[in-house]
Amino acid sequence: MRDISKETIEKAASGDMAAFEEIYKTFSSTVYTIAFNITRDHHDAEETTQDIFVKVFGKLKDFKFESAFGTWIYRVAVNTAINIYNGRLRRRQKTVNLDEAGDMIDASAEMPADALEREGAKTEVADMLKNLRPEHRSCIVLREIEGLDYREIAAVLRIPLNTVRSRLKRAREALMDHRKQISKGARYGL
């Protein structure tokens, strides 16, 4: 997990924008990845990333150096992204814009076979993650995409180690069940 010097954190907490920019540059891609993997939408991930760094800037003075700064950033990112995702999920109405769907079909007809296959795999993973509960999705994202170990995930999410294990187990079972449903549907032409 990446980290940053205590001096840089203290300077940023006292208002030094160059120090905060260093924090931003160090963690922005990781924070965006976390936000995207929880929200599953690029626009939402960009907005969530901005919200996360506004929150980080406001809370820098409260950072007590009791954990690694990277762990603290992960925690803020995951919790903020889940809260934003849940809030937007409640407000969104699921509608299908047939014109956009038609445009997507036309555009995909022009893509090379390899690109279509990659996009299909990305879409399948995104759909599978979307079906997980947010607390399970955050554990899977931190473990499988961010590469954190179980103890780091427990620290980031502030949950017991056994809770991490059980959430990952449930998430993996849900992903396997979803995969079986997709396979079953494809087998029967659904």
Domains of the chain in start order, with CATH, are 1-94 (1.10.1740.10), 131-190 (1.10.10.10)
Report the pLDDT value the prediction gives residue 169, as an integer from 0 to 100: 92
| pLDDT top residue among 97 and 83 | 83
Tokens encoding 35: 């936000």
Contact 43, 109 (CB under 8 A): no
Report the pLDDT value the prediction gives residue 31, as an integer from 0 to 100: 94
Name the pTM for this structure. 0.59
Each residue's pLDDT tens digit, 103-162? 444 444 444 555 445 455 555 666 778 888 888 988 988 888 888 889 989 988 889 999
Mean local confidence (pLDDT), 71-77: 91
